Amino acid sequence: MSEGPPFCELKEAERMEALGIVSEAQELSQSLADRRSTMIDSNPPFFAAYGSLFRSRPAAGNHEAEAVEECDLPIVDLSRLSDELQAEQCKREIVTAASAWGFFQIVNHGIPNGVLDRLRAEQVRAFRQPFKKKADEKFLGFLGDSYRWGAPTATSLKQLSWLEAYHIPLSSATHPATTSTCRCVIEELSSAMSRLADRLMGILAEGLGSDGSYIKDNCKRNTCYLRLNRYPPCPVAGEVFGLVPHTDSDFLTVLCQDDVIGLQLKKGGRWIAVRPNPGTLIINVGDLFQAWSNGLYKSVEHRVMSNPRLERFSVAYFVCPSKETMIESSARPAIYRKFSFGEYRQQVQQDVTLLGYKVGLTRFLASCRRNKHTNAHLKKLQILDLGHCKKLRKLPAQIHKLVNLKILRLAYCTQLERLVNLLVLEIEGCPRLQSLHDSFSDMENLTELKMMRCDSLTGMPRGVGKLSDLQKVAGWAAVDGHGSATFQYLQTLINLEELRLQNLKSMSDPEDDPTAKLHETVDDDVEMAFLLLQILEGLRPNPTLEKLEISCATTTLSL
């Protein structure tokens, strides 16, 4: 009996059905029937390339459905800059918006609508081409790998972006191989964008007491980038972002979007949706300006939501300096250390490759020992993720001063310190961690404890029974001869809801285990059953437990 064609040979609609996305596939097929021959063929093969991510996705979406409030960004009329009576007020509004929001809209910006319309027409025409043609580097003639889609380093759906884009270095936009029509309109638009950006950066620099000449001298048009974005209709819009949450690694971004809502930014810890406003351009502060302004101007995290039925287009102009340009604030004390743009880009790319996400300016904080301002800022820290610090073996004793720290993620750390207000503790991939600090039992507010792939941590830590607020526990490598007594500590955890134990081994001492010889002849299933009885005996009674997962070398059991 034939097994049918391999997954990679199926068409996108068939792949969706094979991945269990049946209703969405039918809905997409119906709503796009009149455009199937062009749009489906032009869309990147997301399901073929990321099939493993979809197959392993949980039943619920990756980003929770949340009620997001719509808002209008602060709007500034740049025509007032020509009026002596209104110019200063207009400048103050720009500085205030960059400080309070990091995002604002501008009207009467000087970019001719005709130029924007012509570029949009070229943009639509380019993206309507078959995918294979777009993927050909010679299609539009831009230098390098300008055509991009998805997220090559994604290891989960929450790291995947449902978009395709041309990321164009303006140093190559006038290359002879570039198609003449496209080259002309990009050159015209980039010139206008460059003049607008210079004007805005001058105003923002003036707000810091600088003339802005350093930024203007180092941010020439040929060091900037133009990005043409298309967000195809996404049949799994509840699970995949159009563009994952991020900040921009530049000084300033000028964005022209269409009338399809999708852009969201984070303000006050909440995501808010930006309503499209015809005739306006959106300006947002980038990481470099936040560092250069010593945190006065905010590089705000933003994202684009995918849409199940509508495609969305946007054009972004990124104001970037040369790689050699040094970024340093003249304010003292400085929050960020001095760094070059090239160093920053390299670190961002390294983090995305290794971690799947951008860490950003956090990597470039000035030394805490010399910076009292940073110390005060860190005291407010609630989440500390050190999972990428592979050389960190011991936390500094001063970490107990982070009195507001709620969530701590570590890797390769062999010693912990006292953190009484911690709610979540995660340690992954630390094979040398043999025991937790004696003050572990003082973490009385702990609700989640995860010790994954810590193979030397073979027994429940002393005092775990005192942590009555614990709801989720995961980790520990072995029963290690203690039998059910190892798990009797958990009987006092009256709020325990989830317990995951990994790499369980049989009793290590034959004298303690009368069935040791029997274990030599029975299969893994019998051994697992024996261990399970020990664990259940140790857990009894535990009325709140909802999930129990136990794994050994060859078997996983979930209850």
386-391-397 Cα angle (round to 5): 65
Residue 17 lies in a domain: no
CATH of the domain at 156: 2.60.120.330
Q: What per-residue confidence (pLDDT) applies to 426? A: 79
183 and 230 part of one domain: yes
352 and 461 part of one domain: no
Name the one residue in this structure whose structure tokens are 């995660």.
Answer: 426
Domain C-terminal end among 303, 322, 341: 322
Residue 191 lies in a domain: yes
Angstrom distances, CA of residue 331 to CA of 25, 210, 252, 286: 55, 11, 20, 18
What residue type is 270 in one-letter code?
A: R
The token duo for 179 is 């198609």
Phi, psi (5° rounding) for residue 364? -115, 25
Q: What per-residue confidence (pLDDT) applies to 513? A: 44
300 and 339 part of one domain: no
Start-to-end Cα distance in the chain: 36
255 and 289 part of one domain: yes
Burial of 45 (0-12, 13-18, 19+ CB in 10 A): middle
415 and 364 part of one domain: no
317 and 339 part of one domain: no
Tens digit of pLDDT for each residue in 23-47? 454 554 544 454 444 555 889 999 9
310 and 373 part of one domain: no
The residue from 15, 57, 221, 312 that is catalytic is 312
Domain ranges, residue 361: 333-378
Q: What per-residue confidence (pLDDT) applies to 486? A: 53
385 and 374 part of one domain: no
Beta carbons within 8 Å of 438's beta carbon, 6+ residues apart: 462
Q: What per-residue confidence (pLDDT) applies to 338? A: 96
Closest by CA position to 451, among listed 436, 466, 470, 441: 436
Whether 345 sits among the annotated catalytic residues: the reply is no
Q: What per-residue confidence (pLDDT) applies to 482? A: 42
Beta carbons within 8 Å of 217's beta carbon, 6+ residues apart: none
Q: What per-residue confidence (pLDDT) applies to 383? A: 73
127 and 276 part of one domain: yes
Residue 44 lies in a domain: no
Residue 24 lies in a domain: no
Beta carbons within 8 Å of 436's beta carbon, 6+ residues apart: 416, 457, 461, 462
Q: What per-residue confidence (pLDDT) applies to 199? A: 97
CATH of the domain at 395: 3.80.10.10
Q: What per-residue confidence (pLDDT) applies to 534? A: 65
Tens digit of pLDDT for each residue in 442-483? 777 888 888 776 766 666 666 676 777 788 877 765 444 443
Domain C-terminal end among 322, 344, 370: 322
Strand partners, 274: 71
Residue 520 lies in a domain: yes
Residue 224 lies in a domain: yes
Q: What per-residue confidence (pLDDT) applies to 446? A: 83
Q: What per-residue confidence (pLDDT) applies to 291? A: 97
d(CA 132, CA 160): 21
Handedness of CA 213, 219, 220, 226 (dihedral sign): negative
Low-confidence stretches of the chain (pLDDT beneath 70): 1-40, 58-67, 137-139, 141-144, 173-180, 367-380, 387-393, 397, 412-418, 429-439, 453, 455-463, 465, 476-491, 502-543, 551-559
Q: What per-residue confidence (pLDDT) applies to 25? A: 47
Closest by CA position to 381, among listed 355, 410, 363, 401: 401
Residue 54 lies in a domain: no
Chain center to CA of 339:
23
d(CA 367, CA 23): 53
388 and 356 part of one domain: no
Residue 505 lies in a domain: yes
237 and 251 part of one domain: yes
486 and 366 part of one domain: no
Cis upstream peptide for 44 (omega within 30°)? no
d(CA 514, CA 454): 28
The token duo for 372 is 């009292």
3-state secondary structure of 473: strand
* Count of the separate structural domains present in the chain: 3
Q: What per-residue confidence (pLDDT) applies to 428? A: 72
The token duo for 212 is 């802005």
